[in-house]
Amino acid sequence: MTTPWSSRSGIADYSRHLLPYLREEAEVDVYVEVGREGEESSSEPLRSVADLKPRDYDQILYQLGNEGQHAFMLPLIRGLGGTVMLHDWVLFDLAMAAHPSLQRGGLRGLQRAFREGGREEAQTYLRNVRIPAEATRGKRFRLGWYSQESGGRWSSAQSELNLGTARAARLKVHVPGGRTLKVLQGGVLLGKWAEPEDLSIELEFQSDDSRVLQFEVGGAGPIRNRRSVSDERELGVFLRKVELLTEGNWHSMSLDEPGTHEPQGLSADRFELCLNRSVVRHADAFLVHSDWVGDQVLTSRNAATPIARVHHGVERRWDGQPSRQDACLQLNLPSAWESSFVLGTLGALQQHKRPAVMLDALVLLRERGVDARLLVVGESRPEEFDLVREQSRRGLEGHVHVTGWLPEPEAWGAMGAAHLCVNLRGPSTGGTSGGACQALSLAKPVVISELPEFAHLPACCVLRLPHGESEAENLAAMVLRLREDPAELARMERAARESVEHELHWSHAARRYLEVLRDFPRPRASRRSLLVRFMHATAREKAQIT
Alpha-carbon distance of 398 to 534, in angstroms, equals 57
Alpha-carbon distance of 530 to 527, in angstroms, equals 8
Alpha-carbon distance of 424 to 471, in angstroms, equals 11
- What integer pLDDT is reported at residue 532 of this predicted model? 47
* pLDDT, mean over the chain: 85
- Length of the chain in terms of residues written: 546
Of the candidate CATH numbers 2.30.29, 1.10.15, 3.40.50, 2.60.120, the domain formed by 141-252 belongs to 2.60.120
Give CA separation, 435 vs 231, 285, 320, 348, 440, in Å. Answer: 26, 27, 20, 10, 9
Alpha-carbon distance of 134 to 126, in angstroms, equals 15
Of the candidate CATH numbers 3.40.190.10, 3.40.50.300, 3.40.50.2000, 3.20.20.150, the domain formed by 324-504 belongs to 3.40.50.2000
> Which is more confidently placed, 115 or 166?
115
Alpha-carbon distance of 441 to 316, in angstroms, equals 5
In the three-class reduction of DSSP (H, G, I as helix; E, B as strand; rest coil), residue 29 is classed as: coil
Q: What are phi and psi of 287, to 5 degrees?
A: -110, 140
* CB-facing half-sphere around the CA of 469: CA atoms within 13 A: 0
User: What amino acid occupies position 503?
Assistant: E
In the three-class reduction of DSSP (H, G, I as helix; E, B as strand; rest coil), residue 5 is classed as: coil
**Does 209 have pLDDT greater than 80?**
no
In sequence order, which residues have a C-beta less than 8 Å from that of residue 470 and are 6 or more positions away?
none
> Which is more confidently placed, 176 or 231?
176
pTM over 0.95: no
Which long-range contacts link 31-34 to residues 24+ away (Cβ below 8 Å)? 31/1, 31/2, 32/1, 32/2, 32/3, 32/4, 33/4, 33/69, 33/72, 34/72
H/E element, 491: helix 486-499
Q: What are phi and psi of 500, to 5 degrees?
A: -65, -45
Confidence of residue 522 (pLDDT cuts 50, 70, 90): confident
Which range is least confidently modeled, 128-132, 291-295, 299-303, 398-402?
Answer: 128-132
Q: Where are the domains of the chain?
A: 10-89+276-313+520-545, 141-252, 324-504
- What integer pLDDT is reported at residue 299 of this predicted model? 93
Which range is least confidently modeled, 127-131, 441-445, 536-540?
Answer: 536-540
